């Protein structure tokens, strides 16, 4: 496929077009993914997540500068939410990274979540693979600013940076599950504000009480990203984590797990898509659907009936085979 060849040869325009195809879940996507597969594995993926306004984009911008100074190339995926009402989005992360606009070694792509419930669009995994295949040393993935749960990023990242601000709350808050469990590195940004030291201490205490891994001690760093304070330390920790992953072979374990999840999810998505299509075409399924919609039949009974009807399932499998 010509686009892929040109991208692998270094065309950023072709990379951008491939990203668009992946984002749209175009029919060429499986072919694209197969073609780039042999070229994957070089990039280190760093996820940056945290509540809205914590300073994710600014941190990504400053980290990129440090990485560039060391000669590494950087790919950035910055996600922002799609409006559930209009379907549109304001993609406002790029604006924080203006110093890199003219740097050929930095590729920035903004993406809207387009209906994904998590902090990243569904297509994010495919897009970061494209950035990897393109040859980026680091791929920084910035999620939408979310609240307490943020699992998407863990599946996409090797190193997850959770960035908080001093207003994030007290010790009870830090004990809650979710966001605070997924961090490989904690950053307390806007550290000139009141409460910063307190939050750092609370986080350190929480981590001491319940360490997640034996081979990695999660550091808590204070930064003022806007003033470029503390960013060098964040970078050093990313490098240390990267090294620890390799040294303990956790990296290959994580990649295995990620590949498995991706495999299952891709199949799931395919089945789901066919099912929804069949729902509109197949008379029997439509009849069930109608009964459920009217309230005459509950979804669980309907589902049980459908899944135990061998003839029906067989007919569907054949229909599935035809469609593939």
Q: Which residues bind another protein (CB under 8 A)?
A: 12-13, 16-17, 19-20, 23-27, 82-83, 86-92, 94-95, 98, 101-102, 107-110, 112, 114, 122-123, 273, 276-277
Residue 85 burial by CB count (10 A; 0-12/13-18/19+): exposed, middle or buried? exposed
The DSSP letter of residue 10 is: T
| Residue with Cβ nearer another protein (249 or 321) | 321
**Least distance from another protein to the Cβ atom of residue 119, Å:** 17
CA gap 169, 62 in Å, rounded: 26
**Least distance from another protein to the Cβ atom of residue 31, Å:** 14
Q: Which residues contact 291 (CB under 8 A, 6 or more apart)?
A: 297, 302
| Residue with Cβ nearer another protein (123 or 218) | 123
| Residue with Cβ nearer another protein (86 or 296) | 86
According to DSSP, the residues that pair with 109 across neighbouring strands are 77
Q: Which residues contact 299 (CB under 8 A, 6 or more apart)?
A: 292
**Least distance from another protein to the Cβ atom of residue 272, Å:** 9
**Least distance from another protein to the Cβ atom of residue 52, Å:** 16
**Least distance from another protein to the Cβ atom of residue 95, Å:** 4
What is the separation of C-alpha 26 from the centre of its chain, rounded to a whole number of angstroms?
A: 20
The pairing of strands 44-49 and 138-142 is parallel
* Contact (CB, 8 A) for 161 and 49: yes
**Least distance from another protein to the Cβ atom of residue 107, Å:** 6
| Residue with Cβ nearer another protein (2 or 249) | 2
| Residue with Cβ nearer another protein (235 or 316) | 316
| Residue with Cβ nearer another protein (82 or 174) | 82
> b/e map of 100-118 (b: 16 or more CB within 10 Å)?
beeeeebbbbbbbbbebeb
């Amino acid at each position: 496929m010509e686009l892929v060849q040109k991208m692998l040869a270094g065309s950023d325009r072709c990379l951008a077009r491939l990203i668009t195809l992946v984002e749209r879940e175009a029919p060429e996507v499986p072919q694209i993914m197969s073609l780039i597969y042999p070229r994957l594995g070089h990039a280190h993926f760093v996820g940056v997540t945290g509540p809205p306004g914590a300073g994710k984009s600014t941190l990504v911008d400053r980290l990129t500068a440090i990485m560039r100074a060391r000669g590494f190339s950087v790919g950035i995926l910055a996600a922002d939410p799609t409006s559930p009402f209009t379907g549109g989005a304001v993609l406002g992360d790029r604006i924080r990274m203006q110093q890199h606009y003219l740097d050929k070694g930095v590729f920035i792509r903004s993406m809207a979540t387009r209906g994904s419930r998590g902090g990243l669009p569904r297509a994010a995994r495919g897009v970061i693979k494209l950035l990897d295949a393109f040859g980026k040393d680091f791929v920084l993935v910035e999620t939408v600013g979310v609240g307490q749960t943020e699992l998407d990023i863990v599946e996409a990242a090797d190193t997850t940076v959770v960035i908080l601000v001093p207003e994030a709350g007290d010790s009870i808050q830090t004990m809650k599950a979710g966001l605070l469990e997924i961090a490989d590195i904690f950053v307390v940004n806007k550290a000139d504000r009141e409460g910063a030291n307190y939050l750092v201490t609370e986080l350190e205490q929480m981590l001491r009480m319940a360490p997640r891994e034996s081979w990695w001690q999660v550091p808590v760093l204070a930064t003022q990203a806007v003033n470029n304070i503390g960013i060098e330390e964040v970078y050093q920790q990313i490098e240390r984590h990267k090294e620890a992953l390799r040294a303990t072979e956790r990296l290959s374990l994580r990649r295995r797990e990620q590949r498995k999840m991706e495999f299952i999810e891709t199949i799931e998505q395919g089945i789901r898509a066919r099912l929804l299509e069949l729902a509109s075409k197949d008379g029997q399924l439509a009849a069930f659907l109608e009964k459920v919609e009217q309230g005459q039949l509950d979804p669980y009974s309907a589902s049980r009936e459908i899944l135990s009807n061998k003839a029906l399932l067989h007919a569907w499998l054949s229909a599935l085979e035809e469609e593939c």
